Amino acid sequence: MKNFGSSFIKNFTISEAEKLFRDLDEKPYRATQLFAWLYGKNCDSFDDMSNFSKDLRNYLNQNFILNPLVCEQKLVSEMDGTEKYLFKTVDDHYIESVLIKNEESDSGRLTICISSQIGCQMGCTFCSTAKIPFIRNLEAAEIIDQICQVRRISGLNNNNIVFMGMGEPFMNYDNVIKAANIMNYSFGLHISVRKITISTCGILPRINQFIDEGHLFNLAVSLNDTDTNKRSETMPVNKKWPIEDVAALFNKKMPKAHNRLTLEYVMRKDNISRDDAVRLKKMFKYSRIKLNLIPLNGEGTPSENDISSFIKELEILNIPITVRKSLGRDINGACGQLSGQKYR
């Protein structure tokens, strides 16, 4: 695979940018100026960087790519205003990002759902991305540029970021952590760690690494079943790293400084019994958890009554919950659906 990384300017950390400018006999403070253009002003051309000399702008133009993504399509839901973006990469592949406007999140703010890979190898049976061939990991620059482009096109800036688009973030650990750090830098996108959520299907060694490295980004695990055999049927990752082992790791190591662990739970007819609630409580008994409930769309959708009974059981067990609506249904809201059309 071609190494794009070295030509993407948004792959640079501030210290890497300082080194670049030093090597060019420029002052290292040019790095903070560059970051102010890239992220503070969300500039999309080196030519606009007016405090750089013409020679420096020419050099950057000739050696670097500023926008690693091009927006191919934007769809807006008539039902709820959700915006879906289809981006093309420099090697002619497709990824998706979603801007969710009326999410009932804790903060009630806008959320951008971003992708971390082109395709995914994890094979979850309910997922559209799993049906796309796995192509490659995204560079940190391609992860960050989704936010820059969505902000520029939508004109909306105040965002939560969730790694819940195409791909398994922890199968692209280094680039995802690098991108999240650049998002968080005060001279980067300056997004608080509490507003950046990385969602994994349960890659145990990387969860362990994430905890050991002391990152404070929010962590979410896509749970969906408490019965391990049932979970293995829809999420093959469970055969390699069973959910009990993931829960045991959190029970043992979840850092005190960390927010609650979010467990994503798509409610089906057959996973919302009292037994499921009790098993969940027992499994994560030493962890601070919050359950994010999402009703399944289509076949297998549980009735309102069954959902209410499940919520009551969870409340009796003192498990904090949020209930999320499924948004953007009229524009193929789930990630992978739009790109899937390109690969069919």
Q: How many alpha carbons fall within 13 Å on the CB side of residue 3?
A: 1
Say which residue the tokens 């009974």 belong to: 309
Alpha-carbon distance of 188 to 210, in angstroms, equals 21
Out of 167, 188, 302, 333, the only residue in the binding site for ligand SF4 (CB under 6 A) is: 167
3-state secondary structure of 111: strand
Smallest distance from the beta carbon of 86 to ligand SF4, in angstroms?
16
CB nearer to ligand SF4: pick between 168 and 276: 168
The one among 82, 129, 292, 339 contacting ligand SF4 by CB under 6 A: 129
Min dist CB 127 to ligand SF4, Å, is: 3
Question: Least separation, in Å, of the C-beta of 150 and ligand SF4?
Answer: 19
Closer residue to ligand SF4 (CB): 129 or 226: 129
Token duo for residue 15: 């210290």
Active-site choice (43, 124, 127, 335): 335
Report the alpha-carbon distance of residue 117 to residue 179 in Å, rounded: 13
Q: CB of residue 342 vs ligand SF4: minimum separation in angstroms?
A: 16
- Determine contact, residues 101/78, Cβ cutoff 8 Å: no
Beta-bridge partner residues of 137 = 117
Q: Which residue, chain included where needed, has tokens 């293995």? A: 232
Binding string, residues 199-238; x marks residues near ligand SF4 by CB under 6 A: --x-------------------------------------
Pick from 65, 122, 246, 291: which binds ligand SF4 (CB under 6 A)? 122
Nearer to ligand SF4, 69 or 124 (CB): 124
Question: Binding segment for ligand SF4 among 91-99, 118-126, 185-193, 272-280 (CB under 6 A)?
Answer: 118-126
What's the closest the beta carbon of residue 31 comes to ligand SF4, in angstroms?
34
- Tell which residue, 146, 187, 185, has the closest CA to residue 163: 146
Coil, helix or strand for 235? coil
Collapsing DSSP states into helix, strand and coil, what is residue 85?
Answer: strand
The whole-angstrom distance between residue 341's C-alpha and the CA centroid of its chain comes to: 21
- Which residues lie below 8 Å from residue 33, measured CB to CB, with a gap of 6+? 49, 51, 52
How far apart, in whole angstroms, are the C-alpha atoms of residue 76 and residue 86? Answer: 12
Choosing from 83, 96, 139, 313, the catalytic residue is 96
Helix, strand or coil for residue 274? helix
Which segment (8-16, 125-133, 183-191, 248-256) binds ligand SF4 by CB under 6 A?
Answer: 125-133
CB 175 within 8 A of CB 116: yes
139 has catalytic annotation: no
Binds ligand SF4 by CB under 6 A, chosen from 18, 145, 168, 225: 168
Burial class (CB within 10 angstroms; exposed 0-12, middle 13-18, buried 19+) of 307: middle
> Is 169 one of the binding residues for ligand SF4 (CB under 6 A)?
no
In the residue annotation, 83 being an active-site residue is answered as no
Segment interacting with ligand SF4 (CB under 6 A) among 104-112, 127-135, 177-185, 323-331? 127-135
One-letter amino acid at 59 equals: Y
Residues in contact with ligand SF4, counted by CB under 6 A, come to a total of 11
Tokens found for residue 130: 């799993």
Give me the residues that bind ligand SF4 (CB under 6 A), please.
Answer: 120, 122-124, 127, 129-130, 166-168, 201
Catalytic (active-site) positions: 96, 335
